[in-house]
Amino acid sequence: MKRRIVLIVLAVCLAAGGALYWATRAEPRYEKYSTTFFSFDTVISIIGYAPDLNTFENVTKKAEERFMELHCLYDKYNAYEGVVNLYTVNTMAASRPVKVPDDLYDLIKYSHDMVPVTKDTVNIALGPVLLLWHDAREAAIANPAAAYLPGIQELQAADQHTDLGKLVLNDAQKTVFFEDPAMQLDVGAVAKGYAAEVVAQEMLKGPMPSFIINAGGNVRTGHPPRDGRPNWGVAVQDPDGYVSGDGVSDVLDILFLHDTSVVTSGDYQRYFEYQGKRYHHIISPVTLMPTDFFRSVSIVTESSAYADLLSTCLFLMPYEEGRVFVESLEGVEALWILNDRSIRMTDGLKDKASSQGASNPNPNQ
Ligand code: ADP
Ligand code: MG
């Protein structure tokens, strides 16, 4: 009898211990951590919910290294020792097919294949035209008194060398060749978003899938924050706002989302002024000039590469045309800030926007 009681007590203890073990194992505590670093000519921040600081640091160190590596590959202005990057392609690909690393080939291929999807608006072969605008912007920023606009004849001459049909890609060899010696690729419309998607996909497979990456307004959210809130809050910047200490004055709307991207193209991100008028960095392949249909457009779709490509594309279309276009795309939503600062959004965003009454309750607080 005594032996039976001892056995029962032992069994109860084991069961309780086991339950406690599984309870603590199944529910590790998640802490919120954040970090920032500089890459892709912008500040990149990552916030994540991790079981401990060590996990967070390991994950974000790897993410930072990937961003640095990809930026070096997609850089068209600088050469790096021992690296075949976009600069190498732009200087060598007219004389021979250049074999490039997979990460660069994949981006060029993606951008090339998406041209028909963007209705010929985003053309990575627009390099010669974009370079003229880049030089004018740099000159004006260095010395506003010396600001000038690229001449239309100069722009039209450069536009003679923007035919994407003259870009020869070899999928088997991963080589890039220019049939036009004056061809220059510029992947600025998609590179940052593409890189953020590469990093996000790697992070989703790792030990910290609950994260948000903000690469200078190019936002990629992972799984929901592990503090009870169903979503991440993604701010839509006021085009006339300013980045203040608490960020409040800079926000026009907030979108509550997870496992998706929000990428914005706006007239306030990179620009210069000439004779009192603003000239930004998104150039119509038709007029060869910046557009002024509205102030900004934010695209919401899962892939940050697609969102980046579409944000530049939509920025080049009048609001009405862009709206019909976005509504024809599967899994894509958009928010525009018009010239009078009013907000328009596709129906799929209405239950996600704070301006429409959406919120992000935290039941644990
Ligand atoms: P950001 O670089 O501020 O994130 P975008 O994603 O809209 O903004 O990309 C703008 C960049 O895309 C420009 O700096 C330029 O390098 C490139 N670009 C501008 N217009 C075009 C175009 N019509 N086709 C392809 N690339 C473009
Ligand atoms: Mg873009």
Residue 243, domain member (yes or no) = yes
* Nearest alpha-carbon partner for 166 in 184, 152, 148: 184
The pLDDT score that the predictor gives to residue 13 is 45
> Do 212 and 199 form a contact (C-beta atoms < 8 A)?
no
CATH of the domain at 138: 1.10.3980.10
Stated pTM of the model? 0.91
Kindly list the protein residues that place their beta carbon closer than 5 angstroms to ligand 2, a single-atom ion: 189, 308, 311-312
Q: Which domain holds residue 285?
A: 228-356
Q: At 242, which CATH number?
A: 3.10.520.10
Based on C-alpha coordinates, what's the Rg of the chain?
A: 25
Number of structural domains the chain divides into: 2
Pair 112, 170 in one domain:
yes
Q: Specify if 207 maps to a domain.
A: no
Proximal ligand: closest to the CA of 290: 1
Tell me if 22 is assigned to some domain.
Answer: no
Instruction: Establish if 101 belongs to a structural domain.
Output: yes
21 within some domain: no
What is the whole-number distance in angstroms between the Cα of residue 306 and the centre of ligand 2?
9
Same domain, 236 and 352: yes
Contacts of 99 by beta carbon, 8 Å cutoff, 6+ apart? 84, 173, 174, 175
> Which of 281, 297, 299, 308 to mutate to test ligand 1, by most ligand atoms within 8 A of the CB atom?
281
Q: Mark which of 178, 211, 238 sits at the end of a domain.
A: 178
Q: Please tell me the predicted confidence (pLDDT) of residue 1.
A: 44
Cα separation of 139 and 93, whole Å?
28
Tokens of 154: 């100069």
* Residue 76 lies inside a defined structural domain of this protein: no
Same structural domain, 172 and 232: no
Dump the DSSP string for 315-353: HTS-HHHHHHHHHTSTT-EEEEE-TTS-EEE-GGGTTTB
**Are residues 165 and 257 both part of a single domain?**
no
Name which residue sits closest to atom 24 of ligand 1, judged by CA: 122
Question: 18 CB contacts (<8 Å, ≥6 apart)?
Answer: none
Report whether residue 197 contacts ligand 1, using a CB cutoff of 6 Å.
Answer: no
Please indicate, yes or no, whether residues 145 and 233 belong to a single structural domain of this protein: no
Q: Are residues 343 and 248 in the same domain?
A: yes
Q: What one-character DSSP code corresponds to residue 12?
A: H
In a domain? residue 203: no
Are 308 and 297 within 8 A, CB to CB?
A: no
186 alpha carbon – ligand 1 mean position (Å) = 8
| Full pLDDT tens readout for the chain, 365 residues | 455 555 455 455 455 544 545 545 556 789 999 999 999 999 999 999 999 999 999 999 999 999 999 999 999 999 999 999 999 999 999 999 999 999 999 999 999 999 999 999 999 999 999 999 999 999 999 999 999 999 999 999 999 999 999 999 999 999 999 999 999 999 999 999 999 999 999 999 999 999 999 999 899 999 999 999 999 999 999 888 765 555 546 889 999 999 999 999 998 888 899 999 999 999 999 999 999 999 999 999 999 999 999 999 999 999 999 999 999 999 999 999 999 999 999 999 999 999 999 999 888 87
177: nearest Cα among 97, 84, 111: 97
Same-domain status, 238 and 336 = yes
Please indicate whether residue 75, judged by its CB atom, sits closer than 6 Å to ligand 1: no
What DSSP line would sit under 18-70, residue for residue? HHHHHHHHHS---EEEEEEEEETTEEEEEEEEESSHHHHHHHHHHHHHHHHHH
In a domain, 5, yes or no: no
Residue 119 φ then ψ, to 5°: 55, 45
